[in-house]
Amino acid sequence: MLSQIIAVTGVNIRSIRARLGSSSVAVIGIAGVVLVFVAVLSIAEGVAATMKASGDPDVVLVMRAGADTEMTSGLAGDATRIIQDAPGIARDESGAPLTSPELFVVVDHPLKRSGSPANVPLRGVTPEAFKVHKNMKIVEGRNFEFGKNELIAGRAATRQFVDLTIGRSIKWGENTWTLVGIFEDGGSVAESELWCDVKVLQPAYRRGNSYQSVYARLASPDLFTTLKDALTSNPQIQVSAMRAPDYYGSQTETLQTIIRTIGGIIAILMGVGAVFGAVITMYTAVASRTREIATLRALGFGSIPVVISVLVEASLLAVLGGLLGGAIAYLAFNGYETATMNFQSFSQIAFRFAVTGKLLMTALFYALIMGLFGGLLPAIRAARLPVVTALREL
């Protein structure tokens, strides 16, 4: 039996070359599905990766209770001081708490890709910010000077928005800013932002002495509950506290839902469509070899080896298609950087498409399933051909 399976399968596979046309159609069909599947989901993976890079588990974000994003939060200056003194927060050598009160606004600035205006996130920070956000480093130029109308821009922001080069003056309303440096932050969301001195930003946006959030570094990761309880039970302030990874995870929920819902619908429809494509291809392959299969059967080959040989051929074509589609998706999309709107804060976030190994494996697995489904019916048909009539066929 095994030797029969090997023999028939060998004949099948060697004869693919003779049926190159119809076989390549099946391969291309499945490659197309895999390409779409991988490409669409690599957007979601990319956004998730950026968000993951943003969430330092030792950092806690404090916002006003009820706010779901920094944009809608608001904390008075006094409240930020009360937050600083809460227990569980790490302190530097001089004993000062590692907390960073920040003001997050958006500014209207044109996108490079379309020339149309978009909401660029602009964050005002205090000198402590650079101790709380540990991965933040200036890679070009210098940091802004506190008290001056100077800006630094994230690496990704410089690629998405026009005129973000060092030395450039940018006028927004009554204020003219000078861009003095470019920073990186381990691929986090911050790299889509512009940063400046909060004390300069507050009057420009008529915010008095108010902030939107406080980032605090924990003395130890397990002190989160201590800090959270102390803050939420303090009657002087109404705030909520979240670990940074949880916050950033929640920030792209809308975007992720959109991409994954649409991606899911597309993948299912395309998958079924491709199975149909594979079925017709394999069916044509079987039909064109009717006489050949009947001859094998007449020579004494069983029906199971015939079924298996067709299935093996279909899977082989499917895997080939999967590899091809995955490779194209990887070459065309992996690392492609673009920006989109974060629906929670209405501001731009830049990210890279991420064609991950996991994604490729999943896609390949689907390709295999599609091949098996596509091959099953034609295989059964081949096995059930009545030998005598089949031999008589053209």
**Taking CB under 8 A as the criterion, which residues in 231-290 touch other proteins?**
238, 253-254, 257-259, 261-263, 265-266, 269-270, 272-274, 276-277, 279-281, 283-284, 287
Query: Is the four-CA dihedral 384, 390, 391, 394 of positive or negative sign?
Result: negative
Which region, judged by CB under 8 A, interacts with other proteins, from 37-45, 124-132, 183-191, 355-363? Answer: 37-45
- Label residues 168-183 b or e (16+ Cβ within 10 Å = b): eebeeeeeebebbbbb
Angle between helices 303-333 and 20-54 (to 10 degrees): 50
Q: Tell me the closest approach of the beta carbon of residue 62 to other proteins, in angstroms.
A: 15
CA gap 124, 136 in Å, rounded: 15
Residue 67 contacts other proteins per CB under 8 A: yes
Residues 137-166 that bind other proteins (CB under 8 A): none
In terms of CB distance, is 118 or 218 closer to other proteins? 118
Residues 112-131 that bind other proteins (CB under 8 A): 113-114, 116-119
Q: Is 126 helix (H, G, I), strand (E, B) or coil?
A: coil
236: left (phi over 0), alpha (psi -120 to 50) or beta: alpha
Q: What is the CA radius of gyration of the chain?
A: 30
Site size toward other proteins, by CB under 8 A: 73
Q: Tell me the closest approach of the beta carbon of residue 92 to other proteins, in angstroms.
A: 32
Which region, judged by CB under 8 A, interacts with other proteins, from 39-47, 86-94, 304-312, 360-368? Answer: 39-47
Q: Tell me the closest approach of the beta carbon of residue 56 to other proteins, in angstroms.
A: 23
Residue 365 contacts other proteins per CB under 8 A: no
The pairing of beta strand 117-125 with beta strand 194-197: parallel
Q: Tell me the closest approach of the beta carbon of residue 11 to other proteins, in angstroms.
A: 21
In terms of CB distance, is 220 or 288 closer to other proteins? 288
Residue 25 contacts other proteins per CB under 8 A: yes
Residues 47-66 that bind other proteins (CB under 8 A): 64-66
Which region, judged by CB under 8 A, interacts with other proteins, from 88-96, 104-112, 124-132, 220-228? Answer: 104-112
In terms of CB distance, is 301 or 351 closer to other proteins? 351
In terms of CB distance, is 43 or 152 closer to other proteins? 43
Give the one residue of 5, 8, 23, 40 binding other proteins; rule: CB under 8 A.
40
Sequence-ordered strand ranges (E) for the chain:
59-64, 75-76, 99-110, 117-125, 137-141, 150-154, 169-172, 175-184, 194-197, 210-211, 213-217, 239-243, 337-342, 347-352
Tell me how crowded residue 389 is: count the other CB atoms within 10 A of its CB. 10
Choose among 223, 215, 230, 272: nearest CA to 33: 272
| Interface mask toward other proteins for 164-193; x: CB under 8 A | --------xxx-------------------
315, 371 contact by CB (below 8 A): yes
Number of residues written out for the chain: 394
CA gap 315, 158 in Å, rounded: 46
Give the one residue of 130, 146, 205, 224 binding other proteins; rule: CB under 8 A.
205
Which region, judged by CB under 8 A, interacts with other proteins, from 81-89, 108-116, 126-134, 147-155? Answer: 108-116
249, 73 contact by CB (below 8 A): no
Residues 334-353 that bind other proteins (CB under 8 A): 338-341, 343, 346, 348
| Interface mask toward other proteins for 4-23; x: CB under 8 A | ------------------x-
390, 298 contact by CB (below 8 A): no
Q: Is 136 helix (H, G, I), strand (E, B) or coil?
A: coil
| Interface mask toward other proteins for 292-331; x: CB under 8 A | ----------------------------------------
